[in-house]
Amino acid sequence: MKKINHCKITIPAKSVNEGYARAAVAAFAALADPTLEELSDIRTAVSEAVTNCIVHAYHEKAGLIYIDLTLTEDNTLKIRVKDKGCGIADIAQARQPLFTTAGEERSGLGFTVMASFSDKLAVRSAVGKGTTVTITKRLQGRPA
Ligand SMILES: Nc1ncnc2c1ncn2[C@@H]1O[C@H](COP(=O)(O)OP(=O)(O)OP(=O)(O)O)[C@@H](O)[C@H]1O
Ligand SMILES: [Mg+2]
């Protein structure tokens, strides 16, 4: 499918940037005239993906988050959130609702939320190399 718009954002994995990432992705998505509900879903999914990079991939230490946005002519938004952190040993287990490696302060619902607020969620990871999460969302609005 032909790309009609794209954007790359690289930010340090700091919690202060979680809000920025959410707003930046929403601003890109807004160009495709989404519904308010779609925008809200996108913000929520991005927030979960970016938080995982900060908390799990880099364990609150220095690192970069690479966000890649693509809009295709069928008005599908692809949001790729990539880190070069610790990676995930068992992706199927990590995607199970309520599974967490972070103890009681986390609920283990991030991947479940990302999947339910999008049309497709793909997770690729290699231990010691990093993780790439791709969120696909079909938008109802007019193409930009
Ligand atoms: N980018 C990542 N790098 C390394 N591990 C990750 C990454 N994202 C998720 N994980 C692993 O997958 C588990 C499940 O992630 P998920 O987002 O579903 O839940 P959580 O982050 O533990 O809790 P919550 O999102 O509800 O606060 C995490 O506990 C962590 O072990
Ligand atoms: Mg999470």
Q: Give the domains, in start order, of the chain with CATH numbers.
A: 3-138 (3.30.565.10)
Residues paired with residue 112 on neighbouring β-strands, in sequence order: none
* 3-state class (DSSP) for residue 127: coil
pLDDT averaged per 10 residues, the chain (length 144): 96 97 97 94 98 95 97 96 98 97 93 98 98 97 56
Residue having the nearest C-alpha atom to atom 25 of ligand 1 = 110
pTM: 0.96
Determine the distance separating the centroid of ligand 1 and the alpha carbon of 6, expressed in angstroms: 27
pLDDT in the model for residue 141: 67
Told to judge if 48 belongs to the known catalytic residues of this protein, a careful annotator would answer yes
H-type helices in the chain, by residue range?
Answer: 16-30, 36-52, 91-95, 110-116
Determine the distance separating the centroid of ligand 1 and the alpha carbon of 78, expressed in angstroms: 20
Residue having the nearest C-alpha atom to atom 11 of ligand 1 = 94
134 neighbors 79 (Cβ within 8 angstroms) = yes
Single out the residue of 136, 131, 118, 114 nearest to residue 47, CA to CA.
Answer: 114
65 neighbors 82 (Cβ within 8 angstroms) = yes
Told to judge if 52 belongs to the known catalytic residues of this protein, a careful annotator would answer yes
